[in-house]
Chain A
């Protein structure tokens, strides 16, 4: 259980103290400072590319553990408040470090994907997530491959759910993407390819048909 949970939650790169804290939180949330735990998770997500894409799972497990043990919500509440603070400061973050900004987007999207409430995604996050994706779809962001990469990754992972919750904003987002494919000078050829692929994925109901898979991935070694 110990090793598999480290693997599963992608925390193997953290220092021992942090790993222990998180493992204890999973087993016995009442015995740790959950506010501290949520801060640790947010901070690590902003620094660690790999973890930012997977933090949702460990977060949800802790949420459920806390509910089961005490009916409480401290962890989730603090996590959301931190998310909100970082959201408010996102433009500043992006100016300071595109990496950190990209980590934040991955993180909030992953939380949206995994932390469900009554089996539904947290509706309060829909607009903020869209706001982030819209930011990534701006011309200045699309010129950076890492931002394009982040954008298409999130769309692959949560595009379908997002569209179900707010189809209009998804349409508007794709207007921007289409414009970029056709008109944006600074878009790299890889960027263009990534956007075309996600365009097609959406058009076929968020899956990739076999011919499309061949077209986009035949040259790619994974």
Chain B
């Protein structure tokens, strides 16, 4: 069923493209030079029929038509996907607001106390970005948030958070979620995520080998060799790679960013 629709939609899109090329209006789909709404024959009316006074001859779901305001849709999505994407987008927007407020408040407080000794505030120990210098690209933020979610959606993270309250965290020893609002290169960010998730494995539930009593075991040198050291993590901490029967699979999972660990663990537990 969806194949048919995709086909029909491609035809429509192709038809529109052809029309555009012929008339030379690449930037303006709806109107001609005289300001009147240009009729593209079927293409436009098919796209419009779902949205303007329903012509029930073509009851195609809205997700299959090209919405005018947002431009071309690159691929057909189902409602499940759309809602999840919306949810992430609104969460990210809300996070930006919150973060901006936080660093603005932080800047103010920093100015108030000139010397800040022993402060573990993230804004002191690492240069806090100026309010204008944060990552605001929604696509980037959403991708980063997704990667963070994969890491947080694990049993290891749950156990970590329960075991070590935030104010007792020691830099270097305890993994710290990378800050998605700071400007980093793609490579740098991906490496930070990788390392963070590897560190979290120290809190894997004891049913697996590699319990949290022995975080320092063999090191996979191949993994370390091409690491990027230009981010603000203490290099010493990289030695703490838990290596277990699962290291290969967990590192593999880390590098593909595929199945969230929680799902994997349930599978493994159920197979035990």
Residues on A facing B (Cβ under 8 Å): 70-71, 73, 76-78, 80-81, 83-84, 87-88, 90-91, 117-118, 120, 122-125, 127-128, 130-131, 134-135, 137-138, 169, 172, 175-176
- The answer to whether B83 and A80 touch across the interface, beta carbons within 8 angstroms, is yes
- The answer to whether A76 and B1 touch across the interface, beta carbons within 8 angstroms, is no
- The answer to whether A138 and B54 touch across the interface, beta carbons within 8 angstroms, is yes
A22 CA to B61 CA in the complex, in Å?
A: 30
Residues on B facing A (Cβ under 8 Å): 1, 50-54, 56, 59, 61-63, 78-80, 82-84, 86-87, 90-91, 94, 149, 152-153, 262
Known: A70-B262, A71-B153, A81-B80. Is A172-B59 also a contact (CB below 8 A)? no
A117 CA to B90 CA in the complex, in Å?
A: 9
Enumerate 20 A-B pairs (CB-CB under 8 Å) in ascending A order.
Answer: A71-B152, A77-B83, A77-B84, A80-B80, A80-B83, A84-B78, A88-B1, A88-B59, A88-B61, A90-B59, A91-B56, A124-B82, A124-B83, A127-B51, A127-B62, A131-B50, A134-B53, A135-B59, A138-B56, A169-B51
B231 CB to nearest A CB, Å:
27
A120 CA to B51 CA in the complex, in Å?
A: 22
- The answer to whether B59 and A73 touch across the interface, beta carbons within 8 angstroms, is no
A124 CA to B85 CA in the complex, in Å?
A: 10
A172 CA to B49 CA in the complex, in Å?
A: 12
Closest to B1 in A: A88
- Chain A residues with Cβ below 8 Å from B86 are 117, 122-124
- Chain A residues with Cβ below 8 Å from B84 are 73, 77
Known: A131-B54, A172-B52, A172-B53. Is A80-B59 also a contact (CB below 8 A)? no
B158 CB to nearest A CB, Å:
10
A134's partner among B54, B61, B94, B152 (CB-CB below 8 A) is: B54
Rank and list the top 9 A-B pairs by shortest CB-CB distance, nearest first: A127-B62, A134-B54, A124-B82, A77-B80, A80-B79, A118-B90, A80-B80, A117-B87, A84-B79
